[in-house]
Amino acid sequence: MNIGNNIDASSQKPIKRARYDYEDIEVISDSSVDSSLTDVEINKINPIETPIYLNKLRFEKNSPEGLSFRSFFVVCNNVLADNSLWRVKNILFSSYITEIEWVIDEVKGSVPKNGNIESILFISHYSEELKKYKLDHDNNKWVKDVSIFFPDQKVPYGVYHPKFMLIIFEDSAQCKKSFIRFIITSANLTQSDWELKSQSIWVQDFFQCDKYISCEFIEYLHTFLQNILGGCSLEKFWINKIQKFDFEDSTVKLIASVPGYFIGREINMWGHLRVRTLMKKANINAHNDSDSHNKENDIIVSQFSSIGRISEKWLYYELMSSLSSTPNPKIEIIFPTIEQVNFSIEGIEGGVSLPVKREYISKPWIKKLLHRWEAVNINEIGTGMKAIPHNKTLLRYKVHNDVIEIIWVIQGSHNLSNAAWGQLQKGGSQYCIRNFELGIFLHKNQFKFVRCHKFEHEEYPMFVWKRRKNCNSHVETNSKGSNHLLSVPLPFTLPPKRYANNDNPWNMELLI
């Protein structure tokens, strides 16, 4: 699937991109997995495509797999933007940090020259610079209105951290025909985040429906938007708009955090207790932990760009108890070493995106869990692997018969902190969350979807997914078989390599 824009990298040396699909995943044996592993053979694995991607780095000139920021404003790759019947009409951007001039320029360079966007809404953590922004209408007549909104934090010491986009496309020939593109990512709305750092992306297109179709996905999204848009002039517009689309074939479950003190049934709506609820509903833990073999070989990976002041008790008795029914599950924390940051594309300045305090990351009990975010020598890898990882990933995997199988994956904006995931208080009767966050949850046993597309000469949105039973006969699909091995692109190798004795985790004090 050729998605994304070609970036002029003529001044850069050709880079061979490391791939992380099951066809060629590198499996390395080390002390963290007591198994004699070999490389996974191509003919044994036929992975199922998922709507999860990595971003296209500036230096990856010949890599079609990654998604550039501009790719989200293109309906499909076989029709030039100026020839497209589809027009972007409304956009909602959400980010912790926003370089608004860069975003406006990227959108302007992506949409048709005769396009006319009705509104762009930026939702962001509070910024004086962003508050002062005024659109230059003389040079941006292609967009009618640009507005900025800062959600109320409600709880002290929290941040607005979700990173997502909602883009509404309308058919210029049939104004009542439209679809919405929903993107959830780990990337801020900044050029360096999208071009120089590794990021995770989930994206899916949803068509307009004739009448409101209720499902868990839309109800949850509706509640989340109500929480972040309260007091915004466009709150009613976006709440009403999303109800005009059919989300029944959503490929993932949403996991959000909103700040507040919750009691009663509300505590299961957000953060890690939302994850616990999803696990129980799907009976996932009972399935995965049904025998000692699975308990011995299933491992939980936590990879993030920041860590809060967490305790061992919170990690195991709250977060991990929501992720697994196994007491004291095996945990592998993936975080860059000082050496890896120094040798990254951005050098030590790239460490700004890894704001971890030394006292938090260097606790003895945490250091025992640390693994490198790649499994080969830093000087032997391609440029793509030298990008600072800004992804935030929780996943469960197991190794069986020399094959790595991902059981489930959580990606989005949540870092490893109780501010993001929540913390139980007052003996478990109260639940406190400080941050706004948004992520996705995908489990292999619940993933029964295929990506749909029509013939090459037709202009059809490229991120449409349907349940297998809902795929019409006239629609081609990408079905690759009935196995349950998911293809989830990752910026690190599984199993990860444990820190060596001379490895030390990156910390923000090194920037001083």
Higher pLDDT, 23 or 296: 296
Give the separation between CA 249 and CA 192, rounded to whole angstroms.
33
Question: Within 13 Å, how many C-alpha atoms sit on residue 318's CB side?
Answer: 24
Question: SS3 of 228, please?
Answer: helix
- Is 392 annotated in some ligand binding site? yes
Q: In sequence order, what are the residues at sequence separation of 6 or more whose Cβ sits closer than 8 angstroms to the Cβ of residue 146?
A: 104, 119, 120, 122, 135, 140
| Maximum CA extent, the chain | 67
Provide CATH code, domain 42-49+264-443+485-511: 3.30.870.10
Each residue of 373-384: pLDDT tens digit? 873 334 444 444
Are 382 and 18 in contact, with CB atoms under 8 Å apart?
A: yes
Is 371 labeled as catalytic in the residue annotation? no
Residue 232 Cα distances to 157, 158, 491, angstroms:
22, 20, 36
Annotated catalytic residue, options 161, 272, 414, 453: 161
The mean per-residue pLDDT over the stretch 243-256 comes to 98
146 forms bridges with which residues in the sheet? Answer: 120
Q: Where are the beta strands (DSSP E) in 227-381?
A: 253-257, 260-262, 298-303, 331-334, 370-371
Annotated catalytic residue, options 371, 390, 443, 453: 390
Which of 423, 508, 433, 420 is CA-nearest to residue 161?
420
Domain 69-256+450-477 belongs to what topology? Endonuclease; Chain A (3.30.870)
Q: Which of 6-15, 245-254, 471-480 has the highest mean pLDDT?
A: 245-254
Give the separation between CA 90 and CA 245, rounded to whole angstroms.
14
Encoded tokens for 233: 């002039």
Task: Judge if the upstream peptide bond of residue 496 is cis by omega within 30 degrees of 0.
Answer: no
Each residue of 145-175: pLDDT tens digit? 999 999 999 999 999 999 999 999 998 777 6
Is 293 labeled as catalytic in the residue annotation? no
Q: Residue 43: phi, psi to the nearest 5?
A: -75, -10
pLDDT band at residue 459, thresholds of 50, 70 and 90?
confident
Q: Residue 342: phi, psi to the nearest 5?
A: -60, -35
pLDDT band at residue 40, thresholds of 50, 70 and 90?
very low
From-to residues of CATH 3.30.870.10 in the chain: 42-49+264-443+485-511, 69-256+450-477
The secondary structure of residue 481, as a DSSP letter, is -
Each residue of 436-450: pLDDT tens digit? 999 999 998 889 899
Are 336 and 389 in contact, with CB atoms under 8 Å apart?
A: yes
pLDDT of residue 470: 63
Are 240 and 449 in contact, with CB atoms under 8 Å apart?
A: no
Give the separation between CA 4 and CA 53, rounded to whole angstroms.
11
Q: Residue 319: phi, psi to the nearest 5?
A: -60, -50
Angle at 308 between CA 302 and CA 313, to 5 degrees: 75
Mean pLDDT of the chain: 84
pLDDT band at residue 29, thresholds of 50, 70 and 90?
very low
